[in-house]
Homo-oligomer: A and B are copies of this chain.
Amino acid sequence: MAIELKNLTKRAENYSQWYNELIVKADLAEQSAVRGCMVIKPYGYAIWEKMQQTLDRMFKETGVQNAYFPLLIPKSYLCREAEHVEGFAKECAVVTHYRLKNSPDGKGVVVDPEARLEEELIVRPTSETIIWGTYKNWIHSWRDLPLLINQWANVMRWEMRTRMFLRTAEFLWQEGHCAHATAEESEARTVQMINVYADFAEKYMAMPVIRGVKSANERFAGAVNTYTIEAMMQDGKALQSGTSHNLGQNFAKAFDVTFTNKENKPEYVWANSWGVSTRLMGALIMTHSDDNGLVLPPRLAPIQVVIIPISKNAEQLAQITEKVQPILARFKELGITVKYDDADNKRPGFKFADYEVKGVPVRLALGARDIENGTIEVMRRDTLQKEVLPLDGIADRVDGLLEEIQQNIFSKAVKLREEKTYVCDSYEEFKEKIEDGGFFLCHWDGTTETEERIKEETKATIRCIPLEGDDTPGVCMVTGKPSARRVIIARNY
């Protein structure tokens, strides 16, 4: 795998190209032979696995269990919930046949026309329909509730314009689907899960997010209410990073899922669903990385520390390797993932560049001179600062340094967001400033009409109605009509 490490386009030159190149140079993913689908390479997948493990633990701590539902959904299921079909049933992969046969011309295979399915099957774009079709048989009494289930799965949406991790035809995600006895419980769970996502984003991804509610227009198809976490990328654009939907009784009614309540009366079940996807990989990349490549938060880095020996001969290498052993042992004790890269087919300079572009948080370099002096060179990826430190107790120092890096990149992202967040009351000013990106706190009259006008004229959308911050009423910057509170408007991915 020859990696071209140099010549990464600079963010200031072409942000979008920088992103695409970085993904390839850091060996995270690549386009596949199938339109709009990507291959997630081992290094990229290792980051996703760390995200998965952390989220999975957080879900289970709230009582959620995992399960698995079919990949293919009968076409008729999609039509059961009226809004849902409008939102999801259109651009999707349709299975129409179940057999191929040898081509009459002897070249390859063709679809066997006799093996046409009676009813077409859709590769799931999301699983509300098949899951609520199943819940019908699982839920009978209030004793069966709540039902708190999550699925890790692949889904497909036939997107016309795709970008690696951000928008791909196939993507990996988790989708939680909960069933409750009351509207209050379901709403509480919907909010609980958006808070889990916000915690994960801030504490693990070191990515600050704004929690809010989507406008009616931007709601999930079939939802009563959609909560979102919105993050700001370095170019000032918003990235919707996770959503949690209060589905009311819509899917229960569509699939006739009722339960006998404590008063012994039948009632429709209350639902919510919530998900995050490999899109978070795109968010992670764009929040922290720089012109030298990826910058990873220590808590999600597959390799947290790399140690590179600098030796002129086998004897020196053996000496260094011996010194490194107790350090590796101490890292292991501390629960830190460390890699000692003593491969002899690559020069130290190549390794330095490789781990830098891959965003390994801390790099240690150890040469013969260091051993004489009892020192070691430490480089932190976030600031690229180098320091020579005593070899004694280095693992424990690095442990603290990793925590410092985690905090530092979070603070840096918060600062960037603050700098690019504007309170704006003039639509003219907004139209001018939006060209440079940023989050705009503006008054909006709450109508879809105004929302669509803003979108059409500026390509910006209402990202969310924040759950926190200034909630004083005012007048819409576009129409002058009353506004309940400021909302966040931005261009987005």
Tell which of B1, B34, B67, B71 touches A40, judged by Cβ atoms closer than 8 Å. B67
The answer for the CA separation of A111 and B32 in the assembled complex, in Å, is: 26
Contact assessment for A65 and B42 in the assembled complex, using a CB-CB cutoff below 8 Å = yes
Residues of B within 8 A of A33 (CB): 70, 74, 77, 130, 133-134
Contact assessment for A99 and B92 in the assembled complex, using a CB-CB cutoff below 8 Å = yes
Contact assessment for A89 and B68 in the assembled complex, using a CB-CB cutoff below 8 Å = no
The answer for the CA separation of A287 and B98 in the assembled complex, in Å, is: 33
Nearest CB on B from A424, distance (A): 39
- A351 on the interface (CB 8 Å rule)? no
List A residues 151-195 near B (Cβ within 8 Å).
Answer: 153-154, 156, 158, 170, 172
Contact assessment for A39 and B89 in the assembled complex, using a CB-CB cutoff below 8 Å = no
Contact assessment for A67 and B90 in the assembled complex, using a CB-CB cutoff below 8 Å = no
Instruction: Tell me how many chains of this kind the complex includes.
Output: 2
- A154/B34 contact (C-beta < 8 A), A98-B93, A134-B39 known: no
- A96/B99 contact (C-beta < 8 A), A37-B70, A85-B109, A109-B85 known: no
- A419 on the interface (CB 8 Å rule)? no
Nearest CB on B from A161, distance (A): 14
Contact assessment for A71 and B37 in the assembled complex, using a CB-CB cutoff below 8 Å = yes
- A314 on the interface (CB 8 Å rule)? no
Residues of B within 8 A of A91 (CB): 98-99
- A7 on the interface (CB 8 Å rule)? no
Interface size class of A (residues with CB under 8 A): 35 or more
Tell which of B32, B72, B93, B123 touches A37, judged by Cβ atoms closer than 8 Å. B72
* Least CB separation from A38: chain B residue: B70
Residues of B within 8 A of A78 (CB): 100, 109
Residues of B within 8 A of A98 (CB): 91-94, 158
- A324 on the interface (CB 8 Å rule)? no
Contact assessment for B100 and A92 in the assembled complex, using a CB-CB cutoff below 8 Å = yes
Contact assessment for A72 and B109 in the assembled complex, using a CB-CB cutoff below 8 Å = no
Q: A74-110 vs B: 1/0 string, CB under 8 Å?
A: 1111110000010001111111111111000000110
The answer for the CA separation of A282 and B30 in the assembled complex, in Å, is: 36
Nearest CB on B from A454, distance (A): 29
Contact assessment for A97 and B99 in the assembled complex, using a CB-CB cutoff below 8 Å = no
- A41 on the interface (CB 8 Å rule)? yes
Contact assessment for A67 and B96 in the assembled complex, using a CB-CB cutoff below 8 Å = no
| 9-residue interface stretch from A136-144, A381-389, A428-436, A470-478 | A136-144
Interface residues of A (CB under 8 A from B): 1-2, 30, 32-34, 37-42, 45-46, 49, 65-79, 85, 89-101, 108-109, 111, 120-123, 130, 133-134, 137-141, 143-144, 149, 153-154, 156, 158, 170, 172, 345
What are some 15 contacts across the A-B interface (CB < 8 A)?
Answer: A2-B140, A2-B141, A34-B73, A34-B74, A79-B108, A89-B109, A93-B95, A93-B97, A93-B98, A94-B96, A94-B111, A95-B96, A96-B96, A153-B154, A154-B154
| 4 A-B pairs with the lowest CB-CB distances in the bound complex, closest first | A42-B65, A37-B70, A79-B108, A40-B68
